[in-house]
Amino acid sequence: MVWKILAVVALITLPVSVTFWRKSHKKPEMYRWDVAADKSLRVFLRNGTCGFRLLSMPDPSPLESAFRGPLAYDPSPKNRRFVLSSTRSGPYRITWFVFPFWLPTLALTSLGAIPVIRGPVRRSWRRSRGLCEECGYNLQGNRSGRCSECGTRFR
Ligand SMILES: [Zn+2]
């Protein structure tokens, strides 16, 4: 049941991930939010990569409204596609989180496929070990053709 709920959620969010993936290629953009007076968050989408950069300042500064603008350069550190780091630069702390969009897309696709492939995989695993496909009861020595636990026919 849990897997089915997760799969439904994954299949709903999958198009969102794919949409941002495409958008990052067609129209690279950078967003900025001042999440607190001393914390500024930048989010960028570019060439299949999503990046978050959180700047923590020692003193509060006036909040700036969010803006978005086209992005002509690669802002991630050393142009890397996957970054998870937090470094100090003088009184500032910069936290980076960069990941490629195929990562969440692959994760959501796999999550969505689990309930579909789980049943057949489990059945063939049980069959190969001489267990009932339905309930996993050991069928060795059983000549009746029916599982004595759940009544499922087997060959
Ligand atoms: Zn059975």
Domain residue extents for the chain: 2-103
Overall pTM > 0.95: no
Cα–ligand 1 centroid distance for 136 (angstroms) = 6
pLDDT digits (tens, 9 = 90+) for 140-155: 999 999 999 999 998 7
pLDDT digits (tens, 9 = 90+) for 53-94: 999 999 888 887 777 788 888 888 888 889 999 999 899 999
Secondary structure of the chain: what % helix, strand, coil (to 5)?
A: 35, 30, 35
Cα–ligand 1 centroid distance for 126 (angstroms) = 10
Alpha-carbon span 53 to 63, nearest angstrom: 17
Q: Which of 12, 11, 1, 2 is nearest to 112 (CA)?
A: 11
Residue 107 vs residues 13, 50, 52, 114: alpha-carbon distances, Å: 11, 15, 19, 11
Confidence (pLDDT) at 101: 93
**Chain centre to alpha carbon of residue 78:** 24
Residues around ion ligand 1, judged by CB within 5 A, are 132, 134-135, 137, 147, 149-150, 152
Cα–ligand 1 centroid distance for 124 (angstroms) = 14
